[in-house]
Chains A and B, each alone.
Chain A
Amino acid sequence: GENVEQHPSTLSVQEGDSAVIKCTYSDSASNYFPWYKQELGKGPQLIIDIRSNVGEKKDQRIAVTLNKTAKHFSLHITETQPEDSAVYFCAAGGYQKVTFGIGTKLQVIP
């Protein structure tokens, strides 16, 4: 099955700086790569996703890149704000079923 590795496990940045979270996956058949933000005590919220026919996608301050050859994808958050502080999960798989990474706890320091 799919195996997703995510790093770093924790990340602290100053407000206004950029944050980058990286993930690798093992199954070359995976074609869907969503990113979720989870705040304490809440369910995951989809923030951006990318499909295998696209190498990069951007939505305001958030961008995701995908390298299918190397089997890795990354989340980039620019101009970070305190409200970006949360746990971020990458995932890989198909549209119906995905495997999650371990999560990255992002802390944005005001």
Chain B
Amino acid sequence: GAVVSQHPSRVICKSGTSVKIECRSLDFQATTMFWYRQFPKQSLMLMATSNEGSKATYEQGVEKDKFLINHASLTLSTLTVTSAHPEDSSFYICSAPSSRGSQETQYFGPGTRLLVL
């Protein structure tokens, strides 16, 4: 299947600092990528849709000024958690759709574990 990478895999930061997470599609181009957040023992919740060349679309309840998304190229989307607080500690996962043959499928990155102290 298609490969999606994330960097870093885990990050620890102090409260009030900003953290940038990268999501890359390694062997395909993605005009759209998705960012999810997963709290311990819970499901994945979609935060926003990242669109190459245009503004991201945020889900209801997600603060766009706190979670900045930039889709700079067809293979890279970044999520910046600004002024992070302990409640932002979570597992952040990105995904990108890829067509294999005639069918499109979502492929997920390995996730980034964020711990805000």
Contact = CB atoms under 8 A, between A and B. Distances in A.
Given A34-B105, A96-B97, A98-B106, A103 B43 contact: yes
B46 A95 contact: no
Given A46-B1, A46-B105, A100 B110 contact: no
A41 B113 contact: yes
B34 A100 contact: no
Contact of A43 (B42, B104, B108): B108
Contacts of B6: 43
Interface in B36-91: 42-46, 49
Contact of A97 (B43, B45, B46): B46
B42 A102 contact: yes
A21 to B, nearest CB: 14
A61 interface: no
Given A34-B106, A36-B108, A49-B105, A44 B93 contact: yes
Contact of A101 (B43, B106, B111): B43
* Chain B interface, >50% SS class: strand
Interface in B91-106: 93, 97, 103-106
Contacts of A46: 1, 105-108
Given A43-B110, A51-B103, A95-B104, A100 B97 contact: no
A9 to B, nearest CB: 10
Contacts of B113: 41
B49 A100 contact: no
Interface of B: 1, 6, 32, 34, 42-46, 49, 93, 97, 103-111, 113
Interface of A: 34, 36, 41-46, 49, 51, 89, 95-103
Given A42-B110, A97-B49, 4 more contacts: A34-B105, A41-B113, A46-B107, A103-B42
